[in-house]
């Protein structure tokens, strides 16, 4: 049987558990598979070790929304606004602000 992409990323993490690129790739695979819990756990790990420019915060906030964790989603969007602003991504920051205002 062929290993899934998720399994491949997990195996890669065994050898390099704090590789941010592998963690982000695994999160994207969880997103594609609709595995919200895995996506949340992986993005939380990724953000704990990475200087993300804002994208992962948006991904995590949307995952929290799907998991009906509205307070965590709002807080994560706010962190995403700060990160996007700090890294010179005003349109991303504005997108997150508009999302917060629409709720």
User: Domains in the chain, start-ordered, CATH in brackets?
Assistant: 5-101 (1.25.40.10)
Question: What DSSP state is assigned to residue 60?
Answer: H
**HSE of 96 in the Cβ direction (CA atoms, 13 Å)?**
27
Kindly tell me if the per-residue pLDDT of 1 is higher than 70: no
Q: How many residues does the chain have?
A: 103
d(CA 34, CA 41): 13
**Is the CB of residue 103 less than 8 Å from the CB of residue 84?**
no
Question: What DSSP state is assigned to residue 54?
Answer: S
Q: Which tens digit of pLDDT belongs to each residue from 10-62? A: 999 999 999 999 999 999 999 999 999 999 999 999 999 999 999 999 999 99
What does pTM read for this prediction? 0.93
């Amino acid at each position: 049987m062929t290993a899934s992409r998720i399994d491949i990323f997990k195996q890669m993490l065994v050898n390099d558990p704090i590789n941010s690129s592998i963690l982000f790739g695994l999160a994207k695979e969880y997103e594609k598979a609709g595995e919200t819990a895995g996506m949340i756990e992986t993005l939380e790990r990724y953000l704990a070790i990475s200087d993300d420019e804002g994208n992962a915060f948006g991904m995590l906030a949307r995952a929290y929304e799907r998991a009906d964790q509205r307070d965590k989603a709002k807080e994560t969007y706010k962190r995403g606004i700060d990160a996007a602003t700090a890294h010179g991504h005003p349109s991303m920051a504005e997108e997150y602000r508009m999302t917060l205002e629409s709720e």
